[in-house]
Amino acid sequence: MTFRQFAFNNIIRSKRTYLAHFLSSTFAIMIFFTYALLAFHPNLQGDLTASVTINTFAKSGLQISQGLIFFFSFFFILYSVSAFLKTRKKDFGILMLHGMSRSQLNKLVFIEN
Protein backbone atom coordinates (compact mmCIF):
# COMPACT_ATOMS: atom_id res chain seq x y z
CA MET A 1 0.00 0.00 0.00
CA THR A 2 1.42 3.37 -0.99
CA PHE A 3 1.25 6.49 1.13
CA ARG A 4 -1.43 8.02 -1.11
CA GLN A 5 -3.56 4.88 -0.91
CA PHE A 6 -3.24 4.99 2.87
CA ALA A 7 -4.40 8.63 2.91
CA PHE A 8 -7.30 7.78 0.60
CA ASN A 9 -8.35 4.88 2.84
CA ASN A 10 -8.28 7.23 5.84
CA ILE A 11 -10.63 9.58 4.00
CA ILE A 12 -13.02 6.74 3.16
CA ARG A 13 -12.98 5.38 6.73
CA SER A 14 -13.80 8.71 8.37
CA LYS A 15 -16.03 10.21 5.71
CA ARG A 16 -18.42 11.88 8.20
CA THR A 17 -15.57 13.89 9.72
CA TYR A 18 -14.20 14.82 6.32
CA LEU A 19 -17.64 15.78 5.03
CA ALA A 20 -18.21 18.14 7.97
CA HIS A 21 -14.76 19.70 7.49
CA PHE A 22 -15.26 20.03 3.72
CA LEU A 23 -18.73 21.58 4.02
CA SER A 24 -17.69 24.12 6.65
CA SER A 25 -14.67 25.20 4.60
CA THR A 26 -16.74 25.35 1.43
CA PHE A 27 -19.37 27.48 3.17
CA ALA A 28 -16.80 30.03 4.38
CA ILE A 29 -15.19 30.28 0.95
CA MET A 30 -18.59 30.55 -0.76
CA ILE A 31 -19.64 33.46 1.49
CA PHE A 32 -16.38 35.33 0.87
CA PHE A 33 -16.47 34.72 -2.88
CA THR A 34 -20.13 35.79 -3.18
CA TYR A 35 -19.46 39.03 -1.35
CA ALA A 36 -16.32 39.73 -3.38
CA LEU A 37 -18.29 39.08 -6.56
CA LEU A 38 -20.89 41.64 -5.53
CA ALA A 39 -18.33 44.16 -4.30
CA PHE A 40 -16.35 44.15 -7.55
CA HIS A 41 -19.20 43.75 -10.05
CA PRO A 42 -18.76 46.27 -12.88
CA ASN A 43 -22.41 47.31 -12.91
CA LEU A 44 -22.29 48.19 -9.22
CA GLN A 45 -19.04 50.15 -9.47
CA GLY A 46 -20.40 53.05 -11.54
CA ASP A 47 -24.10 53.13 -10.65
CA LEU A 48 -23.68 54.78 -7.28
CA THR A 49 -23.25 58.24 -8.83
CA ALA A 50 -26.23 59.95 -7.21
CA SER A 51 -23.88 61.81 -4.95
CA VAL A 52 -20.15 61.87 -4.42
CA THR A 53 -20.70 61.36 -0.68
CA ILE A 54 -22.85 58.28 -1.19
CA ASN A 55 -20.34 56.87 -3.67
CA THR A 56 -17.44 57.37 -1.23
CA PHE A 57 -19.36 55.88 1.71
CA ALA A 58 -20.53 52.94 -0.39
CA LYS A 59 -17.02 52.10 -1.61
CA SER A 60 -15.46 52.40 1.85
CA GLY A 61 -18.33 50.41 3.39
CA LEU A 62 -17.84 47.62 0.85
CA GLN A 63 -14.08 47.54 1.48
CA ILE A 64 -14.49 47.45 5.26
CA SER A 65 -17.15 44.73 4.98
CA GLN A 66 -14.95 42.66 2.71
CA GLY A 67 -12.07 42.94 5.16
CA LEU A 68 -14.31 41.79 8.01
CA ILE A 69 -15.65 38.88 5.99
CA PHE A 70 -12.08 37.88 5.05
CA PHE A 71 -11.04 38.06 8.71
CA PHE A 72 -13.94 35.95 9.98
CA SER A 73 -13.67 33.47 7.10
CA PHE A 74 -9.97 32.99 7.77
CA PHE A 75 -10.51 32.28 11.45
CA PHE A 76 -13.56 30.11 10.76
CA ILE A 77 -11.47 27.91 8.46
CA LEU A 78 -8.67 27.74 11.04
CA TYR A 79 -11.22 26.72 13.69
CA SER A 80 -12.65 24.11 11.33
CA VAL A 81 -9.20 22.61 10.69
CA SER A 82 -8.47 22.64 14.43
CA ALA A 83 -11.72 20.83 15.23
CA PHE A 84 -11.01 18.35 12.44
CA LEU A 85 -7.53 17.58 13.77
CA LYS A 86 -8.84 17.18 17.33
CA THR A 87 -11.28 14.51 16.18
CA ARG A 88 -8.41 12.65 14.50
CA LYS A 89 -6.06 12.94 17.50
CA LYS A 90 -6.46 9.29 18.52
CA ASP A 91 -5.77 8.09 14.97
CA PHE A 92 -2.62 10.19 14.82
CA GLY A 93 -1.50 8.90 18.21
CA ILE A 94 -1.85 5.28 17.08
CA LEU A 95 0.10 6.03 13.92
CA MET A 96 2.86 7.71 15.94
CA LEU A 97 3.04 4.67 18.26
CA HIS A 98 3.50 2.44 15.22
CA GLY A 99 6.56 4.42 14.15
CA MET A 100 5.30 7.21 11.90
CA SER A 101 7.62 10.22 11.97
CA ARG A 102 6.41 13.78 12.47
CA SER A 103 7.20 14.70 8.86
CA GLN A 104 5.24 11.68 7.59
CA LEU A 105 2.28 12.72 9.76
CA ASN A 106 2.42 16.26 8.36
CA LYS A 107 2.59 14.83 4.84
CA LEU A 108 -0.42 12.60 5.56
CA VAL A 109 -2.51 15.52 6.85
CA PHE A 110 -1.48 17.62 3.84
CA ILE A 111 -2.45 14.88 1.36
CA GLU A 112 -5.75 14.23 3.12
CA ASN A 113 -6.69 17.91 3.08
In angstroms, rounded to a whole number, what is the distance separating the alpha carbons of residues 72 and 43? 27
Residue-wise pLDDT tens digits, 42-98: 666 655 555 555 567 777 887 888 888 889 888 888 888 888 889 889 989 999 999
Burial class (CB in 10 A: 0-12, 13-18, 19+), 76: middle
Cα–Cα distance, 5 to 11 (Å, whole number):
10
Q: Which residue has the higher pLDDT, 35 or 111?
A: 111
pLDDT for 49 equals 53
Instruction: List CB contacts of 6: < 8 A, sequence separation 6 or more.
Output: 108
Per-residue model confidence (pLDDT) at position 104: 92
Instruction: Label residue 14 by pLDDT band (50, 70, 90).
Output: confident
Per-residue model confidence (pLDDT) at position 53: 59
Higher pLDDT, 58 or 23: 23
Q: What local confidence, expressed as pLDDT, does residue 97 receive?
A: 95
Cβ neighbours for 38, distance < 8 A, ≥ 6 positions apart: 44
What's the confidence (pLDDT) of residue 99? 93
Q: What is the mean pLDDT of residues 98-111?
A: 91
Residue 75 three-state SS = helix
